[in-house]
Structure 1
Amino acid sequence: MRIFCFQLPVSIALGLMASGMLQAQEPVVEEASLAQSVRTEWQLRLDAADDETREMLAELRRIEAETRRLDARSDALAPRLERRGERLDRREAALDTLPETRERLPEIERALITRLQAWVTRDLPFLKEERLARAAGFEAGSVDPDATAAERLDRLLAAWRRELDYGRELDAWRGTLGDGDTRRQVDFLRLGRVGLYYLTPDGREGSVWRAEADRWEALDEAGRAEVRHGLRIVRDQRAPELLTLPISRPLERADSDDTEASL
């Protein structure tokens, strides 16, 4: 038997070897490409998860901030709600006693009118006629007869509030002093309910009202100068400053009639 041996050219052999190697590498390339695709897909998923996580964290922070704001508002509203609850309790209690209060209302009104008149009568003699007329009007029934009980009481309480306001006011006005032939125009100065003074227009005469003696007491030159300063201050003609004047009505714990009030 004969054996035939063929020898291929070297170039052909190398070509066949290269072709075989390329065919062998194709699965590797495909696997690498697939792995890259998988990695890309996972990276996209991770990025998406990161974005979602960041959004969730931002939402969580917003909810926490809103919760703190609501807690602070709740803490601020708690005292107000408590006071409102107390007012409602008082109103309910008042409603329970409303029939009795209605029965006593005329008695309460009469007592308020009597005390108002007594207060004006014993008080410093400023705007006396106007204030007495206001108090007498309630007693005389000058209030609208068609007014309800609540309206009458409201007007009466308004008169009391006006009297209370006098105690917090500084006032100056020109008015008439004396009666009959002794009437004359003077400038009055009032310091709440502590002091009442007058000064003649020429500044030569001035007095302080002494409630205990129920009369006017003349002021010396220094006192008249203080009254003059007070008139200018009240009329905005002079900058505010301390005034030292004898008082009209003794204060509690006052040691003598010479007690002075500084304003």
Structure 2
Amino acid sequence: MRGKGLDYLRPGAALGVLLLAATANAASLTSEAGDAQRQQAELQAQIDAADDESRAMLAELRERESETRRLEQENARLVPHLVEQAEQLRRREAALDTLDATRQALPSLQASLVARLDTWVEDDLPFMQEQRRARVASLERALGDPDLDDAERMERILDVWRLELAYGMEMDAWRDHLVVADDSRPTRREVDYLRLGRIGLYYLTPDGREGGAWLAEEADWAPLDDQQRREVRKGLRMARDQRAPELLQLPVSQPLERENGPLSGEGGA
């Protein structure tokens, strides 16, 4: 009887063992699944971190490429400027090499410019001679002025030259006195002057009845006829902005060089 009872209990015990084993296996599987999930999460985090780092490196690479292109463009823009600066430096160094010789020659050059200016004023049409001679005289004094340096002295000389050159490119009218020599003594009379650059100098009395044209070759005034005086009157109004510019038919004061040689007398001024 006792042996049969033991035999009867053996299948239940086996089932319990199996249940315990299944429970242990399930717990083990659950633990392994959790570990796998944790590992997968850690791996995903590592992948995400690597992805973020890759994107950051890519963004930095693009920024570096953009900066490189900007620097290349800046260098391309600066190269011509640097070449020009190098050329300027070379010219300055060459000028410094000849500076002593230039300084030694400068007083002679300045004196020559003033002398040529004096000759030009004396040989030119006789207009505003007092003012022009006074300018030349001031330059002659400046040549010997120890308070002026070479740059100031040269600037004064060039300023007067610019004024003289400008006379040849302008039309001017003004009222002044004309000295007329007669048999007894010179007389002064008020007249209106008209100057056309350096090719024509004329005068007209206020009443318009007398007028003259300066002839440089004769160094004297030649009388104007009625038609020529009307032309001078038109020229005076043009110079004073009272009439639109037009061609004037007047004798020229200076001989004009043409292909067939000097020309003086009647012509369009």
Question: TM-score scaled to structure 1, two decimals?
Answer: 0.71
Q: Does 1:184 align with 2:185?
A: no
Matched ranges for 1:97-112 at <5 A: 98=103, 101=105, 105=107, 108-112=109-113
Q: 2:66 & 2:209 partners in 1: Cα distance? A: 79
Q: CA deviation at 1:167?
A: 2.9
Deviation at 1:160, TM superposition (A): 3.0
Task: Say whether residues 1:230 and 2:231 are aligned partners.
Answer: no
Distance 1:35 1:79 in 2: 66
Q: 1:87 to 1:162 in 2, by over 3 A?
A: farther
**Aligned partner of residue 126 in structure 2, secondary structure:** coil
Alignment equivalent of 2:65, drawn from 57, 60, 67: 60
Contact 1:120 1:131 in 2 (8 A): yes
Worse-matched range after superposition: 84-93 or 209-218: 209-218
Distance 1:7 1:113, change over 3 A: closer
Kindly name which structure, 1 or 2, has the bigger radius of gyration based on alpha carbons: 2
SS at match of 1:60: helix
How far apart, in 2, do the equivalents of 1:142 and 1:37 lie?
Answer: 95
Stretch moving more, 70-79 or 115-124: 70-79
Change (3 A) 1:120 1:54: same
* Residue matched to 1:39: 44
Q: Does 1:244 align with 2:261?
A: no
Counterpart amino acid of 1:171? D
Any idea what SS the aligned residue of 2:98 has?
helix
Question: Deviation at 1:27?
Answer: 1.1
Q: Would the alpha carbon gap of residues 70 and 31 (structure 1) be closer, same or farther in structure 2, given more than 3 Å must change? A: same
Letter of the 1:173 partner, please give it.
W
Q: What is the root-mean-square deviation in Å for CA atoms of aligned residues? A: 3.9
What is the Cα deviation at residue 123 of structure 1? 0.9
Q: Distance in 2 between matches of 1:18 and 1:189?
A: 131
| CA shift in 2, pair 1:18/1:215, >3 Å | farther
Q: Which letter does structure 2 place at the counterpart of 1:260?
A: G
Amino acid across the alignment from 2:51: L
Give distance in 2, aligned partners of 1:199 and 1:69: 68
Please give the alpha-carbon distance, in whole angstroms, between the structure 2 residues aligned to 1:78 and 1:251: 48
Give CA-to-partner distance per residue, 1:202-255, whole Å, 9 cap, x none: 55655544434434452626623540342233xxx56xx543234443444366
Aligned to 2:183: none
What is the CA–CA distance in structure 1 between the aligned matches of 2:51 and 2:25, rounded to whole Å? 40
Quote the Cα distance in structure 2 between the aligned partners of 1:143 and 1:215.
Answer: 34
Cα distance in 2, alignment partners of residues 121 and 75 from structure 1:
50
Alpha-carbon contact 1:203-1:224 (below 8 Å) kept: no
Between the aligned partners of 1:249 and 1:54, the Cα distance in structure 2 is 81
Give the C-alpha shift of residue 183 in structure 1: 1.6
1:214 paired with 2:219, answer yes
Looking at structure 2, the residues matched to 244 and 189 of structure 1 have their Cα atoms a distance apart, in angstroms, of: 14
- CA change 1:56–1:224 in 2 (3 A) is same
Within 5 Å, give how 1:52-201 maps onto structure 2: 52-96=57-101, 98=103, 101=105, 105=107, 108-137=109-138, 141=141, 145-147=145-147, 150=150, 152=153, 155-179=156-180, 180-186=186-192, 188-201=193-206
With normalisation by structure 2, the TM-score equals 0.70
Q: Residues 205 and 224 of structure 1 are in contact (CA less than 8 Å); yes or no, is this contact kept in structure 2? A: no
* Identical residues among aligned pairs (%): 28
CA distance in 2, matches of 1:18, 1:203: 141
Shift of 1:34: 1.2
1:58 counterpart letter in structure 2:
E
Unaligned 5+ segments in structure 1 are none
For 1:112, the aligned partner's letter is L
CA distance in 2, matches of 1:207, 1:254: 28
Amino acid in the other structure paired with 1:249: Q
One-letter code aligned to 1:76: H
Task: Provide Cα deviations, 1:169-197, integer angstroms capped at 9, x if missing partner.
Answer: 443332222344342131x3434334434
Could you tell me how far 1:41 is from its partner in structure 2?
A: 2.1
| Aligned 8 A contact 2:139 2:156 in 1 | no
Conservation of the 8 A alpha-carbon contact between 2:204 and 2:229: no
Residue 166 to residue 221, structure 1, CA distance change in 2 (3 Å): closer
* Shift in alpha-carbon separation, 1:113–1:20, aligned structure 2, 3 A: closer
